[in-house]
Amino acid sequence: MKLLVVNPNISTGVTELIRAEAIRSASEGTEITALTADFGVAYIETRFEAMVGAYATAEKVAANVAGHDAVVVAAFGDPGLAALREVLQVPVTGMTEASLACACQLGSRFSIVSISPRMRGWYLDTVHAYHLSGRLASFRSLNEPLKDVVTVQEEQGERLIELANRCVREDGADVIVLAGAPLAGLARTIKHLLPAPVVDGVSSAIQQAEMLARLRPEKAREGSYASPPQKLNKGLSLSMRALIVANS
Amino acid sequence: MKLLVVNPNISTGVTELIRAEAIRSASEGTEITALTADFGVAYIETRFEAMVGAYATAEKVAANVAGHDAVVVAAFGDPGLAALREVLQVPVTGMTEASLACACQLGSRFSIVSISPRMRGWYLDTVHAYHLSGRLASFRSLNEPLKDVVTVQEEQGERLIELANRCVREDGADVIVLAGAPLAGLARTIKHLLPAPVVDGVSSAIQQAEMLARLRPEKAREGSYASPPQKLNKGLSLSMRALIVANS
Amino acid sequence: MKLLVVNPNISTGVTELIRAEAIRSASEGTEITALTADFGVAYIETRFEAMVGAYATAEKVAANVAGHDAVVVAAFGDPGLAALREVLQVPVTGMTEASLACACQLGSRFSIVSISPRMRGWYLDTVHAYHLSGRLASFRSLNEPLKDVVTVQEEQGERLIELANRCVREDGADVIVLAGAPLAGLARTIKHLLPAPVVDGVSSAIQQAEMLARLRPEKAREGSYASPPQKLNKGLSLSMRALIVANS
Amino acid sequence: MKLLVVNPNISTGVTELIRAEAIRSASEGTEITALTADFGVAYIETRFEAMVGAYATAEKVAANVAGHDAVVVAAFGDPGLAALREVLQVPVTGMTEASLACACQLGSRFSIVSISPRMRGWYLDTVHAYHLSGRLASFRSLNEPLKDVVTVQEEQGERLIELANRCVREDGADVIVLAGAPLAGLARTIKHLLPAPVVDGVSSAIQQAEMLARLRPEKAREGSYASPPQKLNKGLSLSMRALIVANS
Amino acid sequence: MKLLVVNPNISTGVTELIRAEAIRSASEGTEITALTADFGVAYIETRFEAMVGAYATAEKVAANVAGHDAVVVAAFGDPGLAALREVLQVPVTGMTEASLACACQLGSRFSIVSISPRMRGWYLDTVHAYHLSGRLASFRSLNEPLKDVVTVQEEQGERLIELANRCVREDGADVIVLAGAPLAGLARTIKHLLPAPVVDGVSSAIQQAEMLARLRPEKAREGSYASPPQKLNKGLSLSMRALIVANS
Amino acid sequence: MKLLVVNPNISTGVTELIRAEAIRSASEGTEITALTADFGVAYIETRFEAMVGAYATAEKVAANVAGHDAVVVAAFGDPGLAALREVLQVPVTGMTEASLACACQLGSRFSIVSISPRMRGWYLDTVHAYHLSGRLASFRSLNEPLKDVVTVQEEQGERLIELANRCVREDGADVIVLAGAPLAGLARTIKHLLPAPVVDGVSSAIQQAEMLARLRPEKAREGSYASPPQKLNKGLSLSMRALIVANS
């Protein structure tokens, strides 16, 4: 099985974190293609950055999806996920969607632990979009500006564990979701230190992508996830156009 | 007052419909700048097309917002609206958001009448994003492929009136929302033929944009609609970069 | 354009605050008729007082609506609003409904800052009635008995700003709603001191009333906001009876 | 035990239907005082009529509550119920609230069968106010104008049974709620003809009122159902004023 | 009237608390049969224990229901309640369902005060199952291990009153629900010490069970609470089999 | 990897269907232990039967879980799932939970197609328990009594395809969920005949169980899914007791 994993932001360091955890998480025989967006910002914390990341991810997926069995959008907030689901012939999932799917099978309520307070509002919107606000126990985050997204795990590990503990003890979480690609792999390291199960965006997304690839669902031919009806277009890259045409 | 109205799809014919209704709806003294996206598709019916339209709209707004008092995203589904709200110094609204704001002040439950059945799922997602699913009485649409988005009003006017009647009589709607830029102006023409009040995306958005401009709200400096924190970026157009930099 | 603004409580001092802010908010050429309820209580904090205020407002509107283009119910909680929407030929809005319509176009989540803790439960019920509980970040209020509703802005301004700051920083609000007619005009004064946009009931209601008047929606002839079916009545004032009869 | 039952509309014929069913439903030893509103309309189908009925009911209760152990607001839609709960020393319930409390203990989802299609929107609002929209399977009603509210049971009995059957078989209702005071007693007559349990507003309200009276709950001294804080008032009847003063 | 009250756990001491409060709560002439589960655990705090308690309760009810007019499942969380509602010819209610039905008729929002923090997640699930999460102001509990469920009232009475006060003053509760059979009767003792009405599982369940018995609802013959269709079964006790067969 | 799959009803024929599809769905190297409940009914359609099935499943799991890496509750409605999640050291999922997790990653709204109309109410309750009612487009089912649960696929295949088509075309489903163990494997056979992706309880549950096993989540030590606190118990089988004791 071949999985295409696209990092919607431009940090190749984060892509390496994602790739490493993706390889650790994948089943034997699964190959990982991990790519970085060609344009955008260093780290996605806002709806505007996610909008840019969505387009950059779509471009990258369009140009590289051939030969893959499933696609992973590797940023929390899942930029471009629903859009790609309409046009791809193979399944696609994202870090938030997949980690929530995992978390919901480990307990009734989950908390999200994040590296930046700025993400709070946007993540709440994202959880609402998946209809799971009623299962969100709390959102907690570091509240200082990040020095470096690549080294946040080492520098803030202790503090993140403390936040996770408070989610369980004060907020009633049954499961902890470590949000954000820069935390890729942390769940694996700290899980025995926490009072409740912990899930991680990258490993969840790899697992769910493999699952979707194994189910081999038919591409929707009707309904709101069928390919868009053919129509005039303008100014799109060749691969984006091919994506639309191939699907119609 | 100057309003910037951007059509997220590439149909200049639709832009003309929008411009005409915008001018009819605007208060005396309001100037309308109506622009068409530089890239994208002829008509937005899907999440993928909306994702493309969001980026094209952001580019167009970034390059043209200077000197305007408020911005209107002139497609149903509001592509890019929340993203733009984070980075613009002036208020911004969209056709769905604004028409729902109007509809909710005219009755308890509204129905959406649309020109394409394909939009159903995506519009339901959009209404859910605004937390108004509980006030949606129904979604009804034409169900044949459109010949031409520019002439749909003439060709399908009778059928649209019939759909609106069924929304009120069978589905319990108190208000009808005519969805989609190609229906711009129709509400004005048929309102006396319907058993309940009707709102239209363009006139609602112009009204709400004027309202927001008159309120002169401060730009958020904190919270999830503050400008994104400054960070490395790559591959963005000059005007998009200026938008981010100007705001930080 | 002529707007009829009715204060549902008996404080003429509050009516003057409302009138002043209404005039400041209104577009050029809009005339404001600001009236005070003939019976009821000095300030509405409870469901019982709102029930009395609803009836007093209906009487006042019935006797004075002729010649106006839209009506504003000028108390938070919107006493009598939905009832009046059924019987009036012109649009009507209220301070809560209108300020929530404005707030929802400025951010994802809003907090309500109020002058009395007593209002908490009733306001939560009101926000729920508009289906917007999921967008309410928090309710915060002064918690001492008010000395005087007319001077609350001067005496408690600092404290209200502090509450608004906590709504943004601790509760995740994107927008602040200053609730209650006695705070009319405060938003205008303090908006540059707050970290997020602020809306005010009176200015929001004036803006939305103008907007509704400009849309010139048809009066519902069917659905749950059509005029009540004609039937025997008894003990109603002449103007209330005229309202029912005129509409049937 | 003495129960005060107030009919919020002016039809003494309906009051007699209510009284008769109240007496049939009440426990041995319970005395029923059934009164008719002094002003208002013949039958409440709309929010405006309910607003009038709320005030008329409050007046009637204020003047007559002394010596009673609990109060019943005897119209569907519960006009004035929440308001009265704040000011009365004894418990109060209403036909909708009580019948939903009964229905929810007989199944997961209920349907409302009503005598007028006009009530649909307002009843949906009422069910939403109680947070039970998710348990409402459907609303069905007669759809011709009523000849006479007092004789509707005889004339429309067959049709009402058919509607109830469709609620169970087509809409998935586990329980039928017969809505509206003019249907008082019908549940008793037809229950063996229906495929699922049926509840009736009057008998439910009498049962729940007796239940509340037996629980002898303390009057709230804090929270949003405490008596309103004392303040200036004007133009209220002596008994309404006594109600406020007695409670402060 | 005869009520069958089954304690789903094995503590006869708790059954005595339940019986005593049931007798105090019941109307004159009501006879109480209070029984203890034959197998299970000493006190139910978890979903697993509730699952065992559900089966034990069903066995006990199956063997003893003959001759009773209604059944009460006497543990918070209502183990087995919905299942029994399908197979019994007489009405059945439970401590959570009934106390929420009472609480909702005394105010808009209620808080649950419990003897163990462990119950939090499961109770939230239970309140959600009844669609009343939006009316739950808060859950608060003692947070030390219980020495003895039978003496918790004496030992922890002061602390429980303090928790109830915080629910009203800090969390916005209008009504307090004292959860858990070991608190049976406490509401009666402390109600004059609390700032808002308080309800108790046992007295609420007895009241609602009497109410349901007086309504004499028909057993559902269709819908999801009709008796299960007849089919092969194996390994069930005679009384459980009789319950299924008798109902088909 | 070894998965324990327990059929909560007594039909060994259904267990064979489940086993066959489980083997087809599982990854290479995964071993399936498929067991049948020792007591209960032939097919679970109701809450009462699910309550019996939950206990029977718990017994079977308790006696056989040793040596397995994850557990699947193999009936729609997931009898006993949440209870088992508290006491098992390994992950556990169920057919409804897992198929909804899969469906939600293939589209926005899903419909459930079932073999019996009786399941409607109970399935709606189950979907609500997972907070996904807002994503349920519709429930449709065969409506004649089943001749034989083992042969339903052959006899009713055509009709089930027709129902699935109506879910997509009339109800707006993006994904079809084929509900019920007797339909195990059907999705695989008919997926190319349907206009939208289809998921099946058994293959979804096997996939999600493998996924959970690979994540190797820590057993909750705190929160509402920690093992129940140790306490007196009585009348439990040795393996059920071992489960509780082993976990404390």
Contact C73, C8 (CB under 8 A): yes
The DSSP letter of residue C125 is: H
Q: How confident is the model at residue F247 (pLDDT cuts 50, 70, 90)?
A: low
Query: Architecture of domain B97-201 in CATH?
Result: 3-Layer(aba) Sandwich (3.40)
Q: C6-34, pLDDT tens digit by residue?
A: 999 999 999 999 999 999 999 999 999 99
CB within 8 Å: E172 and C120: yes
- Using CA coordinates, name the residue in chain B closest to F168: B121
- Using CA coordinates, name the residue in chain B closest to A116: B229
3-state secondary structure chain D: CEEEEEECCCCHHHHHHHHHHHHHHCCCCCEEEEEECCCEECCCCCHHHHHHHHHHHHHHHHHHCCCCCEEEECCCCCCCHHHHHHHCCCCEEEHHHHHHHHHCCCCCCEEEEECCHHHHHHHHHHHHHCCCHHHEEEEEECCCCCCCCCCHHHHHHHHHHHHHHHHHHCCCCCEEEECCHHHCCHHHHHHHHCCCCEEEHHHHHHHHHHHHHHHCCCCCCCCCCCCCCCCCEECCCHHHHHHHHHHC
Write down the pLDDT at residue F150.
79
CA distance B214 to chain C (A): 8
C225: nearest Cα among C129, C84, C106: C84
CB within 8 Å: D97 and E105: yes
- Using CA coordinates, name the residue in chain C closest to D83: C48
Write down the pLDDT at residue E246.
59
Whole-angstrom distance, CA of residue B141 vs CA of residue B120: 8
Point out the residue among D120, D128, D133 whose CB comes nearest to the CB of B172: D120
CB within 8 Å: D121 and B134: no
Whole-angstrom distance, CA of residue B52 vs CA of residue A86: 13
Q: Which SS3 state, helix, strand or coil, does residue C106 take?
A: coil
CB within 8 Å: E108 and C120: no
Query: Which fold, E2-95+205-247?
Result: Rossmann fold (3.40.50)
Q: D73-128, pLDDT tens digit by residue?
A: 999 999 999 999 999 999 999 999 999 999 999 999 999 999 999 999 999 999 99
User: Which of the residues D104, D108, D174, D175 would you substitute to probe the F interface, choosing the one with the greatest number of F C-beta atoms within 10 Å?
Assistant: D108
For D44-52, what is the mean pLDDT? 97
Q: B125-139, pLDDT tens digit by residue?
A: 999 999 999 999 999
C100: nearest Cα among C77, C83, C122: C77
Chains in touch with E (≥3 Cβ pairs < 8 A): A, C, D, F
Contacts of E233 in chain F (CB under 8 A): 10, 39-42
Q: Is the pLDDT of residue A93 over 80?
A: yes
For C224-230, what is the mean pLDDT? 95
Which CATH number does the domain C2-96+205-247 belong to among 1.20.120.1810, 3.40.50.12500, 3.40.50.2300, 3.40.1390.10? Answer: 3.40.50.12500
What are the structure tokens assigned to A56, written together? 């950059």
Q: Is the pLDDT of residue A247 over 80?
A: no
Would you kindly state where each structural domain of chain C is located, as residue ranges? 2-96+205-247, 107-200
Q: How confident is the model at residue C152 (pLDDT cuts 50, 70, 90)?
A: confident
Contacts of C121 in chain E (CB under 8 A): 107-109, 172, 174
Region class of A169: left (phi > 0), else alpha (psi between -120 and 50), else beta? alpha
Distances, alpha carbon D156 to alpha carbons D145, D159, D193, D202, in Å: 12, 5, 15, 19
- Using CA coordinates, name the residue in chain E closest to A107: E121
CA A181 to chain centre: 7
The secondary element (H helix, E strand) that includes residue C83 is helix C81-87
F30: nearest Cα among F60, F1, F55, F62: F1
Q: How confident is the model at residue D247 (pLDDT cuts 50, 70, 90)?
A: low
CB within 8 Å: C86 and D47: yes
**Pairing label, strands D70-73, C70-73:** unpaired
Average pLDDT across each block of 10 residues of chain E; the chain has 248 residues. List them in order. 97 96 96 98 96 98 98 97 97 98 98 94 98 98 81 89 97 96 90 96 97 96 95 95 75
CB within 8 Å: B107 and D128: no
Write down the pLDDT at residue E247.
53
D107: nearest Cα among F148, E217, E119, B157: E217
Point out the residue among A121, A128, A133 whose CB comes nearest to the CB of C174: A121
User: Which of the residues C109, C136, C174 would you substitute to probe the A interface, choosing the one with the greatest number of A C-beta atoms within 10 Å?
Assistant: C109
- Using CA coordinates, name the residue in chain F closest to A213: F207
Contact D89, D219 (CB under 8 A): yes
Contacts of B58 in chain A (CB under 8 A): 48, 51-52
CB within 8 Å: F134 and B121: no
User: Which of the residues C120, C124, C133, C135 would you substitute to probe the E interface, choosing the one with the greatest number of E C-beta atoms within 10 Å?
Assistant: C124
Whole-angstrom distance, CA of residue B91 vs CA of residue B82: 11
Q: E159-197, pLDDT tens digit by residue?
A: 999 999 999 999 999 999 999 888 988 999 999 999 999
The DSSP letter of residue B182 is: G
Indicate whether this model's pTM tops 0.80. Answer: yes
Q: How confident is the model at residue A148 (pLDDT cuts 50, 70, 90)?
A: confident
Instruction: Please identify which residue in the block is written with the tokens 């309550």.
Output: F51
CB within 8 Å: E222 and D168: yes
Beta bridge partners of F111: F138, F176
CATH class of the structural domain C107-200 = alpha beta
Q: Is the pLDDT of residue F248 over 60?
A: no
Question: How large a percentage of chain D has pLDDT more than 70?
Answer: 99
Contacts of B120 in chain A (CB under 8 A): 224
Contacts of E106 in chain D (CB under 8 A): 85, 91, 212, 217, 220, 225
CB within 8 Å: C220 and B98: no
Whole-angstrom distance, CA of residue A184 vs CA of residue A21: 6
Size of interface D-F (CB pairs under 8 A): 12
Question: How large a percentage of chain F has pLDDT more than 90?
Answer: 89
Write down the pLDDT at residue D245.
78
Whole-angstrom distance, CA of residue E128 vs CA of residue E122: 10
Write down the pLDDT at residue D246.
59
D183: nearest Cα among D125, D237, D141, D233: D141
Question: How large a percentage of chain C has pLDDT more than 90?
Answer: 89
Q: Which SS3 state, helix, strand or coil, does residue C114 take?
A: strand
Q: How confident is the model at residue C108 (pLDDT cuts 50, 70, 90)?
A: very high
Assembly ipTM = 0.96
Domains A2-94+205-247 and A97-201 in one fold: yes
Whole-angstrom distance, CA of residue F102 vs CA of residue A215: 9
Helix axes E201-215, E95-103, angle to 10 degrees: 90
B227: nearest Cα among B245, B215, B210, B242: B245
Query: Burial of B63 by CB count in 10 Å (0-12 exposed, 13-18 middle, 19+ buried)?
Result: middle
What size, in residues, is chain D?
A: 248
Contacts of E58 in chain F (CB under 8 A): 48, 51-52
Whole-angstrom distance, CA of residue D162 vs CA of residue D186: 14
Q: Which SS3 state, helix, strand or coil, does residue B212 take?
A: helix
CB within 8 Å: A225 and F135: no
CATH class of the structural domain A2-94+205-247 = alpha beta
- B vs E contact (3+ beta-carbon pairs below 8 A): no
Q: What is the CA radius of gyration of chain D?
A: 18
CB within 8 Å: C120 and D224: yes
- Using CA coordinates, name the residue in chain B closest to C174: B223
Q: Which SS3 state, helix, strand or coil, does residue E224 take?
A: coil
Point out the residue among A107, A134, A172 whose CB comes nearest to the CB of E128: A134
For B61-79, what is the mean pLDDT? 97
Query: Which fold, F107-201?
Result: Rossmann fold (3.40.50)
Query: Architecture of domain E97-200 in CATH?
Result: 3-Layer(aba) Sandwich (3.40)
Write down the pLDDT at residue F180.
85
For F223-236, what is the mean pLDDT? 95
Contact F194, A169 (CB under 8 A): no
Contact B101, B204 (CB under 8 A): yes
